[in-house]
Structure 1
Amino acid sequence: MAENTTLEERPPSSVAILESLERIYKDLPMEAIVKQDILRQGIHFLPESFLGVGNYKAKDYFIFSFDHIPLADLKDGADTKAPEEIKISGGHFGLLKTVISTRNNPHSPYKMKSKEGVPTLYLEETEIGQAEYPPIPSWYRHKTKSGKLPGEIAPVIEWGYLIYLTVFRNCQYFGKDEECAYCDINHNYRQQKGAGRPYTGVKDVEDILEVMSWIAAEDEIAKVYTITGGSVLTSLKKKSEVDFYLQYPQAIESAFPNRWMGKLVAQAFEKEDCQKFKDSGIAIYHPNYEVWDKNLFEKICPGKASFIGWDNWIRRVVDSAEVFGPSHVIPNFVGGVELSEPYGFKTVKEAIDSTKQGLDFFMSKGIVPRFTAWCPEPFTTLGQQAGPPLVYFCELLRAWKETFETYQLPTPPGYGDPGPGKAVFSVSAFMDVIGYSGRN
């Protein structure tokens, strides 16, 4: 089916398409197929879907917007009331509980309504599943000595499993000649501030430690923290990029040794700098390579290509495995961006063939890439264009799963339990397919 699928063939989601893919991709759980479709299309939350559901955790906009339209254009409460994630189950396909990141899109065919007082997701007139919204952690009731709310400093995602510390909410790759073409970190910061929301650009170590102390005392769900933020090309707060990011795990691990598993999402550093993070207590390293094809990397990640370069980036990823161990190096790529216009491949087959080369390169070395599903956000260089067809994501999941199984690799650490009905990673379905044996 992927052989002849071109960019022009991006049919809107329908139950018929889902049913056809259910028959074709029997090696993929239906939870993963539906999840990828919802991620690529977003959700239209009707006002009724916010009523009668009690308190729940709304979107903290923890790094990117992940919305299909600007915050200022969201209506009917979606700008403040949309949940961080949803967990759907049951419905037409009898889904096991599936955690999916919220991406607001008032034009989506997926509509969240209310059925007998319960949020329920529909595609056309068909019920896809009843929805749960994530609970608010008890420690969200506090406020720091500096007056900051916990969700601004150390929000949780993945149904409470991951503490997400975006310690620098901008990026020094700036403007279309440097910014990654799919990324809206700088734009999201501006729109959050423009909306009058508290949105701290550079987070103080003291604020983070204060919130982490509440988590340590009150929370049993959070198991991992991620330290991340934009790239630092010169200096930030009179510190180099390495020293700036290093201060956070050093402080956290000093105050709460081994309380959580520490992860770092940052640029690809040289081995000696990786060792500093390993020594500080960071266990998992995500030097995201974004897109495998070298020519696309230079077009889509112009700043990274200019300052570090594709060859150096890939070498550093491989070298970092000597420091952290191959299974603890988990670089991300942006699933679907290799089909973006105007630079991307013209067919799904070309895109998958390229991406699979990268998967095989890394997995043959014991390094397991993960991916997030590309969301065309309006303020990015790539702008509001149609995302990839659903068949692309099915082919990508199949390629990922087959390569993972070929090399008999362990489940990536720091992501919780794998498999349908268990996975909490919410921005792609790579964890949902692990261990799935197929259906008749």
Structure 2
Amino acid sequence: MSTLAGSPALKVQVMCEGIRYTPALGAAAAHSMPNYYPYRFKPGEPDPTGRGSATIPYLINTPDGTEIRILGDGDSPWHIEGSQAEGYRLVDDRSGRSVSVAFEPMYPWLTQKTSDGLPFAQAGVQVHGDMLVVNVAPGCEYFLHKHEGQSMRCAFCAYGAPDERTKHLGQIAGRVEILQPTLERMREAMDAVIAQTEIRHIYLVGGSLTDARKEGERFLQLARFVKAHNRHRIPVALGSGAIADDQIAQFKAEQLVDHVCFNLEMWSEPLFNQVCPGKARYVGYARWIEALETAVRHFGRGHVYSAMVAGIELEPEHGLEWEQAARTALEGAEDLCGRGIIPVYSLVWPSGGRQRPDYHARIRNYFETLITGYAAIRRRHGLEVSDGFMCHRCAYMQLECDLDRAAKAAA
């Protein structure tokens, strides 16, 4: 039922169907930005490594600059051929179609260290294409709490609690302040990244606190530091939770950020409560939307966003077929755009239902219906994703920028 063409169509297919392992894909890992998740071989799948898992690259780039995250799947009809010397090709088994691709390179900063010996890769920075993500407090306190036996973590999230894994950043449970040595190490890493690759967006994120005001205090500290050291005046986006209204106003008054992105994640209060129980308990659905509306009043239409997870509604426990899930998501897009808020949809593979023969087809049908319908909604409301917030070169699991670019090219 595809209504897409060109790079957007390719991107959706590969996002929804994944890529299976080949020796060429494994070899590419030696000179590419590594994937955060290793490739795990399925039972019975040929495993040339003999280890059951393998490091693979993180991101694919097509000749026109489209960026696609690599999700390993042994059942995928897509695979990689070629080599670094002769170039790589993404091949579709079904048609024999071959597309020239490159992998996001392993820049020198990935193996370099701060002046006191901490690897830059552990200093609280990540890169997606031309976006620098600053995350010096990744531990999420929702992981520490349960209510009536239910974890307060978001169902899709892999951040984890502040624990031994975040100690090198000085993050421990209950501490709001970011330690000065952590900020200085992040600055060194940020400077190295910007010197080695083109960065056009900076995105400030972090794990949630159960107290929204304290979370706002932490992000104010971070944003002030980044502003003081952002010598190239790269546009900055705030990716906190739904903080207090007066703190939102403070970000604007001090001109700390250019864009705001409070991630509602899921439209409809029942789904929000199920998928994001911590956000529901410690902030609330209505308050989250109110905070986004406050941000629109201060920053204006076109500068306020909400990341949304697309696909988790297809988990069996929600009892939705893809048509109903797409309708609900589009109702949310219409409502949010009417308030001047721009949702950005990231594909999330449902972990359940893999035994269904239509597993991949329903994900793709759902996502294509959502993103094409949402493109029409954005046009109707006169909203466009700002090039300062994100673009096709960093939108590795999102399609809004790709569709807007294709529409402009066709006009």
1:291 Cα deviation after fit: 0.9
User: In the alignment, is the contact (CA less than 8 A) between 1:68 and 1:376 conserved in 2?
Assistant: no
Structure 2 residue 137 is the aligned partner of structure 1 residue 163: no
User: Hey, what's the Cα distance between the residues in 2 that align with 1:383 and 1:201?
Assistant: 40
Q: Which amino acid aligns with 2:67?
A: V
SS at match of 1:135: coil
- The reply on whether 1:221 has 2:195 as its aligned counterpart is no
Contact 1:373 1:427 in 2 (8 A): yes
Q: How many residues align?
A: 384
Structure 2 partner of 1:322: 297
CA shift for structure 1 position 69: 8.3
Q: 1:309 aligns with which of 274, 280, 284?
A: 284
**Unpaired segments of 5 or more residues in structure 1?**
1-19, 90-95
Shift of 1:289: 0.8
Query: 1:145 is matched with which residue?
Result: 115
Q: Which amino acid aligns with 2:347?
A: A
- Which residue pairs with 1:35 in the alignment? 11
C-alpha distance in 2, partners of 1:165/1:199? 15
Aligned partners of 1:411, 1:230: CA distance in 2, in Å? 25
Normalised by the size of structure 1, how large is the TM-score? 0.77
Residue of structure 2 equivalent to 1:44: 20
Q: Provide the rounded CA distance (Å) in 2 between the counterparts of 1:416 and 1:305.
A: 27
1:212 to 182, 187, 190: 190
In 1: Cα distance, 2:354 partner to 2:123 partner:
30
**Alignment RMSD:** 3.4
Whether 1:291 aligns to 2:291 is no
| Residues 224 and 262 in structure 1, CA contact (< 8 A), matched pair in contact too | yes
Counterpart mapping for 1:208-357 below 5 A: 208-216=186-194, 218-219=195-196, 221-233=198-210, 240-257=214-231, 259-278=233-252, 279=254, 281-345=256-320, 347-357=321-331
Aligned partners of 2:353, 2:117: CA distance in 1, in Å? 36
Distance 1:416 1:173, change over 3 A: closer
Deviation at 1:167, TM superposition (A): 1.8
Structure 2 vs 1, CA of residues 117 and 255 (structure 1 numbering), >3 Å: closer, same or farther?
closer
Match of 1:425 among 390, 395, 408: 395
Shift of the alpha carbon at 1:232? 1.0
Distance 1:182 1:245, change over 3 A: same
Partner of 1:6: none
**Tell me, which stretches of 5 or more residues in structure 2 are unaligned?**
172-177
Aligned equivalent of 1:103: 71
| Counterpart in the other structure of 1:358 | 332
C-alpha contact (below 8 Å) 1:84/1:157 kept by paired residues: no
Map of 1:434 onto structure 2: 404
Structure 1 residue matching 2:401: 3-state secondary structure = coil
Report the structure, 1 or 2, having the larger helix content. Answer: 2
What is the CA deviation profile of residues 44-90 of structure 1, one whole-angstrom value per residue up to 9, with x for unaligned ones? 2322334379733223x3xxx597889xx99849966422200135x
Q: Percent identity?
A: 20
Distance 1:52 1:35, change over 3 A: closer
User: Contact between 1:170 and 1:201, CA under 8 Å: does it hold in 2?
Assistant: no
Query: Taking CA–CA contacts closer than 8 Å with sequence separation of 6 or more, which of the two structures ends up with the larger relative contact order?
Result: 1
CA contact (8 A) 1:231 1:241 kept: yes
Q: How many Å separate the matches in 1 of 2:224 and 2:92? A: 47
The answer on whether the counterparts of 1:44 and 1:109 sit within 8 Å (CA) in structure 2 is yes
What's the secondary structure of 2:209's corresponding residue?
A: coil
What SS is found at the alignment partner of 2:97?
Answer: strand
Q: Which amino acid aligns with 1:267?
A: G
SS in structure 1 at match of 2:141: coil
